[in-house]
Structure 1
Amino acid sequence: MNPQIVLFAANGFIGRYLARHYQRAGREVVCIARRRDGWSGDGMFLEWDGKSVGAWALALEGAERVINLAGRNVNCRYDARNRKEILESRLDSTRVIGEAIAGCRIPPKLWMNSSTATWYRHAEDNPQDEWQGEPGEGFSVDVARAWEEAFFVAKVPGETRKVALRTGMVLANEYGTVFEVLRHLTRRGLGGAMGKGTQRVSWIHMEDMIAAIDFIAADPLLDGVFNLTAPEVPTNRELMRAFREQQGAPFGLPAAKWMLELGAHLLHTETELVLKSRWADPRRLREEGFRWRWPKLDGALADLEMRPGLGGFFHQAERRSAGVRVWTPGRRMAAGTR
């Protein structure tokens, strides 16, 4: 077995889009998850428990790319049990993938591991980039830091390049995602500012998310941490205004903090998901010459409105220029440049 792409948590939101993307591109794909529920049907499917090395480890032999997206959904109440599961699901999966890579005769060329823009401190007035950003405080930040530490301390062969993906809010027109939830609220007149409305929202269009992963993978000299976000970082008030304009909603009732806390309790989630300010600046992508197909929120929302679901997303895809590297005098050109 010598797959080109190995996806962990391939039945999740981002995993299904990546699997379909690589399958359409004619790549050999192995999808690994705890269960088949949610799997797009693309590529070969293997099961794992997320904690121990199993037969799935054979798929890593000679792989071109390993992408780990595993981790319990954070859209829940942060009680003791859920906190434990959120943390352990990320650390265990990262640890066991590292063990499997260490045991490969021909190790993978690249290991990409999910992380989160939540790593950065609460910021409303200045961006946080990969070089100068400061870590924040609280449970979510503790998880992010422990997650990345487990990834970077994993002892794997030197041939395996490591990249941590600090991802913002990923937008795609699919049921249960942030895009669909905010769209639903806006259509019902509830698309006003949340809390103070000044908190920053780091986001990225699914198409740019996929393109950025391919862009980083194409350059064998790129490693370390990358912020996967759009260059435009609106406030929550601006975000909701963009949704209202897209949906043609004449008004949107604002939600005070106490209202959000009550709603979060009823929906078994946390207000942090909408109240924390995240301003992750994609400095490294920008400096390497990545071009966003959807750098502006208005354009991204309009595009996604026309691309519902996994099928609609790829059916409507046109010839893209995203991810093109811009040449500037005196700067190297990487292998795989498009």
Structure 2
Amino acid sequence: MNPVIVIFGANGFLGRYLSRHFARSGKEVVAVACDREGWSGDGMFLEWDGKTIGPWALALEGAEAVINLAGHSVNCRYTQKNRGLIKQSRVDATLVIGQAIAGCKTPPKTWLNASTATWYRHAEDKPQDDWLGEPGDGFSCEVAQAWEDAFFQAQVPAKTRKLALRIGMVLANEEGTVYDVLRKLTARGLGGAMGGGNQRVSWIHMEDFLRAVDFVIADPFLDGAINVTAPDFPTNREWMRVFREVVGMPLGLPAAEWMLKIGARLMGSEIELVLKSRWVDSVRLRDAGFRWRWSRAAGAVANLEGRRGLEGFFRAPSGRSAGARVWLPIGTR
């Protein structure tokens, strides 16, 4: 039997791509989610409620890896109700997966739990790395810390290696994602700096995200918290310039903070998702030998232009196509 990968939250953005990736890699995929809507159709689907142990727990026996991505979407208004859902859904899912692993006769080899690059405090002068980075404050940081606390405090067998993946903004050309929203705004001439424009962006191309997950599963010496971001941290001003160049829009109207507040409310989202600076360095991945295929924002954004949707992403070749300019330092572009 092929190695088994169990993915919780498999009908979400990252879950769909991971399910397709592992299925194409010859793994036996078990997709677990609250309902089938959004599921890629890869592997075997099991339903759960995110709170209680059910038949899905049997799938964890002897699994090569368990990947937990479950949680209420953060792309919403941060009302009191939604704040509770965002935080509690992540904690509940993590706790019940830990209980299921603890009850396994043959526990899974590796448990990867999603976390977020917003775990860190904002630093003006340098990126936060996985060794020395300091926790931040505010709602998003509070959620990240509660999520990781539930994960690391889970009492599972020593045979199960645990990693919390502090993931930056993952880029894929799909409807409703960050890439899609920014591209559409840019095409309409609204791709200027947002807010002050100096906030940093920590991101990673979907292809490198999938490769990084493979990498940490295969390395038995990696555990604990690890950053999953590209080694390129453009400012928002530089970031939007990349999108303008890709869509061929010479102008981009800047957006003041008050304009972004109105736009976020109309879109049912939060201004924090745009204005919060995320400057995170993946030191542990780099030191372990991981090499990014898409290490610069210009190349990553250009590559995704021709890889629309899940089918387009996996159908297209993954060679570098943006030319030598991609490799130039940001300041010289």
* TM-score grouping bracket, smaller chain normalisation: over 0.9
CA deviation digits over 1:251-291, x for unaligned, max 9?
00000001111111222211100000000100001111110
CA deviation digits over 1:221-266, x for unaligned, max 9?
1101110000001000000000001110010000000111111122
Q: Number of aligned residue pairs: give it.
A: 320
Aligned to 1:323: none
Contact 2:2 2:27 in 1 (8 A): no
**Structure 2 matches for 1:1-338, cutoff 5 A?**
4-318=4-318
TM-score normalized by structure 1? 0.93
CA distance in structure 1 between the partners assigned to 2:236 and 2:148 by the alignment: 27
CA distance in structure 1 between the partners assigned to 2:155 and 2:54 by the alignment: 18
SS in 2 for 1:111: strand
Aligned to 1:324: none
CA distance in structure 2 between the partners assigned to 1:142 and 1:303 by the alignment: 35
CA distance in structure 2 between the partners assigned to 1:312 and 1:184 by the alignment: 18
Contact 2:115 2:165 in 1 (8 A): yes
Contact 1:3 1:30 in 2 (8 A): no
Aligned to 2:325: none
Deviation larger for 130-139 or 164-173: 130-139
Contact 1:124 1:199 in 2 (8 A): no
Amino acid at match of 2:267: L
CA distance in structure 2 between the partners assigned to 1:287 and 1:62 by the alignment: 29
CA distance in structure 2 between the partners assigned to 1:50 and 1:2 by the alignment: 26
Amino acid at match of 2:121: R
Deviation at 1:77, TM superposition (A): 1.1
CA distance in structure 2 between the partners assigned to 1:98 and 1:155 by the alignment: 7
Deviation at 1:3, TM superposition (A): 5.7
CA distance in structure 2 between the partners assigned to 1:214 and 1:265 by the alignment: 38
TM-score normalized by structure 2? 0.94
Contact 2:8 2:15 in 1 (8 A): yes
SS in 1 for 2:7: strand
CA deviation digits over 1:38-66, x for unaligned, max 9?
00000000000000000000000010100
Gaps of 5+ in 2: 321-333
CA distance in structure 1 between the partners assigned to 2:305 and 2:41 by the alignment: 24
SS in 2 for 1:150: helix
Contact 2:163 2:226 in 1 (8 A): yes
CA distance in structure 2 between the partners assigned to 1:70 and 1:272 by the alignment: 21
SS in 2 for 1:193: coil
| Moved beyond 6 Å, runs of 4+ | none
Contact 1:2 1:63 in 2 (8 A): no
CA distance in structure 1 between the partners assigned to 2:319 and 2:252 by the alignment: 36
CA distance in structure 1 between the partners assigned to 2:319 and 2:186 by the alignment: 31
Amino acid at match of 1:51: K
Identity level (%): 68
SS in 1 for 2:146: helix
CA distance in structure 1 between the partners assigned to 2:267 and 2:25 by the alignment: 39
CA deviation digits over 1:145-166, x for unaligned, max 9?
0100000000000000000000
SS in 1 for 2:129: coil
